[in-house]
Structures are given as C-alpha cells and as structure tokens.
Amino acid sequence: NARRLAERLSQMRGAVMKLGQLLSMDGEGMLPPAFAALLAGLRDQAHTMPVSQLDATLSQAWGADWPQRFRRFSYQPIASASIGQVHRAETHDGRVLALKIQHPGVRQSIGSDVANLAWLARTPGLLPAGLDLTEMLDRVHHQLLRETDYQAEAAATAAYRQALGDDPVLWVPAVHADHCGDAILATDFAPGVPVDRLATAGTPAQRDAVATALVRLAAHELFGMQLVQTDPNFSNYLHDAASGRVALLDFGAAESIAPHRVQQLRCLGRGLRDGDAAQVRMAALALGYVGESEPPAQADGVLAILMAAGEPLRHAGAYDFGASDLFRRMVAQGQTQFFNQGFSRTPPPDLLLLQRKFVGTFLLCARLRARVELAGIFAPHL
C-alpha cells in the first residue's frame, strides 16, 4: 500500500505530492518505518519529465537551439520533486550549474489541488467540530503559487545569500540570472547528498556537526536575519563530505518575519527555557495559540504541548536527540487532546510555516541521532 501511494503521489506532483513529502518526515512513531522510507523518495525522486517534454519546455524558454547554450547538459535529472526537476549543465565559459526546471502545468493545478485538500478536510469526523481551516488553506495556496514563481525565488535566493553572509559550514549557491527564466532557475551546482543520508553513512562527529549547524541556522534565521526558509525538506540541505560544508537550497518558501512576531517568539522561548508557565501562557495568548475565551481544558492542553516542546531548551549540555522520546510523547499528547478536549483553532498561518521549519529541524536532528548544545545556541537570542 505504501509503495502504491508513493508511486501515485510522485506522479501527481504539486500540492498533493507536497503532502506526501510532509508525511515522509515523520521522525519517530508517526508512520511505520517501511512506509516512511518509501514516501521519503518523494523528496527528490519523483517522476521526471520525458525527454521530449523537457526539450519542449526548454525550447519554449530559450528557442529550439537551446542546447548550444551549454558545453554539456545532462538529460538525466539529479533530483525531481513536487514542482520541478534539477539538471546539471556546464556553460562554455566554465560555469557548472544546477538548472531547476518547472514541471509543465504545476502552477495551473495548484488551485484544484488545494480545493481537493479542503474537500478532504471537511470529511465528517476527520477534524474537530468548529475547526476552520479556510485561512490556513488560503495560505498554503498562496505559498505554493509563490514556489512556482522562479523569478521571485531567484530574488529570494540572492537576498538570503546576502543576509546569511560568510559562514564556515553553510553556504547558498549563487544565482546565474543569464540562464534564469519564468520556469527555470539557474544556480551554482552544489555537490553533496541530502543530509539525512548521514543517518546511515555518517560518523557521529559528522552527524553532530551538521545538526548543530542547522539548529544554529534556524535560530539565526528567526532572531537574526528575520528571514526564514520555511520548507524543511531534508533534500534542501546537501552535505559535501569532501569539504564538510552544507549547501542550502530552494528559497521559494523563504518568509520575512515581522519584528513584533520575533519579539513574541522570543518571549515564548524565554518562558519555555525557564519553565515559566505564566510567561508561556502570556506569549501563547499574544501569538494566537490560545484565546481569552477558550475553554480552560483546551487552552491547558495546548500550553502543555508547548511546555513539552521546550524540553531541549531546559536541558543542560548537549541534548541527545537519538535517546529522546520527546517527539513520540508530543504526538501522544496531541492525539489525546484531539480526541478528548479537541482544538478550537489552528495557529495563525505565519506561525504554521515557522513550526514547519522548527519541527523539521528537530526531526532531522532525531533522524541523525545527533547531540546538540541547543540551549547554548539559543541563549544569545533569548
């Protein structure tokens, strides 16, 4: 069943395949391991365009003589995901590029894909009564449309690269505007493999170093840059064993964070770090996780989940993600809340995108069984 589902999702692409990618990032206990392993292929091994369709797409962008633009062009994609596929190319002036080429029709299908997800969400008994996903699905629709705008992604990539600056471990491939177009994004070619493969192929030191760098990045994005790449797809981080560096990819989901949100999240972080339930409640009210008129049982359940999420911030020394059962405990808490008191609201859509980033980083640390001085990384920001 898992194989059939992964196969079908890899053909459908777009919003539906995005859902499958999120399902694959289960961490611990959300899905059977074999099921998660099959869905993991959706992150970079989706169905690819036939060569004839690839040629038609590039001919539309550059004309029928497009092969003359390159000294070499690999027709076999090095990765393929929900919106586009990536090819390696070499220019006549010696540049080695990664060309992300959008699958035809993806942008046009997003509206119907999201409408189908909205229809599924209205299935009786699937969600608590009164829980309205309209605003969240509107945000998903908007976000997916943004991810198909490669001109906007080129600008976002350049802005993020400048904001990150020089880093000893992390780098963003430069954009090559002369080979970009509405359906094509050209950047430096980044060698390496998706970082989650270090779970089986890396040493403990490599796993700890990569996880530490990505936790440091998440904290710096939110509190320093105030510009967050909100797609935690593990294939967006490529580890190069030769240099030890990690390339950061795919900025279609980069989001600027409003200063007042950063301050609210800083207050929440302090409360979680200090185990201060009163401050966590105050911050949760300001953020919209709970409301003033919410039934106490519902609010208390949400606050308990938030307090549990702060466990690594309260831990002295390196937090051992490999030995932790925190994610499993939080899933159990969420399920209990869902089936008993329920949830009266979804978090604001901008916070859902941030949660997607931070939960994804946590899951990656768990996948790598890494030890990370998380409290020390966040301390300067709180």
Q: Tally Cβ neighbours within 10 Å of residue 176.
A: 17
User: What is the chain's Cα-based Rg?
Assistant: 21
Closest listed residue to residue 108, CA positions, set 86, 139, 141: 141
Residue with tokens 């979804």: 346
Torsion of CA 229, 230, 236, 239, to 10 degrees: 70
Any idea how long the chain is?
Answer: 382
Three-state secondary structure call for residue 348? coil
* Contact of 327 with 366, CB cutoff 8 Å: yes
Alpha-carbon distances, residue 337 vs 78, 135, 301, 348 (angstroms): 42, 22, 6, 19
Q: In the sheet where 193-194 sits, what is the strand order?
A: 170-171, 246-248, 237-239, 193-194
Is 231 designated active site? yes
Closest listed residue to residue 303, CA positions, set 263, 339, 265, 333: 333
Exposed, middle or buried: residue 253 (CB in 10 Å: 0-12, 13-18, 19+)? buried
Name the DSSP class of 173. Answer: P
CB-based contacts of 32, cutoff 8 Å, min separation 6 = 2
Closest listed residue to residue 359, CA positions, set 342, 341, 347: 347
Alpha helices by DSSP H, listed for 75-234, are 106-121, 134-147, 150-164, 198-201, 204-219
- With left for phi above 0 and alpha for psi between -120 and 50, is residue 226 left, alpha or beta? left
Question: Structure tokens of 336?
Answer: 């209990």
Q: Which of 231, 240, 300, 320 is catalytic?
A: 231
Q: Which residues are catalytic?
A: 231
